[in-house]
Amino acid sequence: MSLGTALITGASGGIGAAYAQRLARRGYDLALVGRNRSRLNTLAAHVSDETGREVQVLAADLSDRKALAGLESFLNEDASLSMLVNSAGIGAVAPLLQSDVAKMEEMITLNVSVVIRLIYAAAPGFVARGKGTIINISSTVAIGPETLNGVYAGTKAFVLALSQSLHHELSGKGIRVQAVLPGPTLTEFWNVAGMPVHSLPSEIVMPLGEMVDAALAGLELGEFATIPSLPHIADWDAFEAARQTLLLNLSHAHPAARYRKQSDKQQLPSHDGNSGKRHQ
């Protein structure tokens, strides 16, 4: 019996390909999205032979609006769709002043705009059917943006914030939303981004299979945010509790007292009794 179809972006390799293998073993049919048709066909044949699941190959460059529109139509029309895994993305490691702004814009398109459009295409069907799962691959840089390129970190912070909003909006409609925040993972990401993975301390780099297995275990545990390296979920709960405490005081009718005191100091009269005027 099929658990429905899981559409996975970035399935040509890395995290997306690992999700494909594991979800098929769990009983999902697959729709694999990526630019490299040859790799997708090889993965599809392997997964289908191993698991007997139905696997569709949807070769597409998601930065191409026509190709993206075709994928949106697929998401709108396939009633078997039960899971969307937003794994496609590119990264950067160079500091701001050493980065090509055009490349940064391309990264924003794939890491942010494409994710938005695919969710908008899939979510209405999930809501109509009263079930569905959205898995968004973010990164630990979403909460530690100073550790890598700031634009890349900003895109992953967006994915986390969007996931939080979706979780709030859709959980009551039978939709599961999970944000996965991996640290450095042993994939081609680092070589493509310009920092060979072997240049990183080995004690912080997680094998790909272990990372995806942990992410799926977090999904089964009902976690909204899964950080595969985090030893204690209580640390995330404390982080979230602090955020919720901040929310209580982010909007008031008047500024906080410390700003009013500072403003009062700036408005004190000068010694000649002429407030704010310079001596001539």
d(CA 19, CA 17): 5
Whole-angstrom distance, CA of residue 177 vs CA of residue 115: 13
Q: Is 259 a catalytic residue?
A: no
In DSSP terms, 30 is beta-bridged to 6, 55
Catalytic one of 19, 28, 120, 152: 152
Q: What are the beta bridge partners of residue 133?
A: 83, 176
Measure Cα distances from 270 to 214, 258, 262 in Å.
64, 22, 16
Residue from 179, 155, 158 nearest 167 by CA: 179
CA distances, 156 to each of 63, 98, 207, 271 (Å): 17, 20, 21, 53
Cβ neighbours of residue 191 under 8 Å, at least 6 residues apart? 197
What is the identity of the amino acid at 146?
Answer: E
Q: SS3 sequence, 152-171?
A: HHHHHHHHHHHHHHHHHHHH
Catalytic site positions:
152
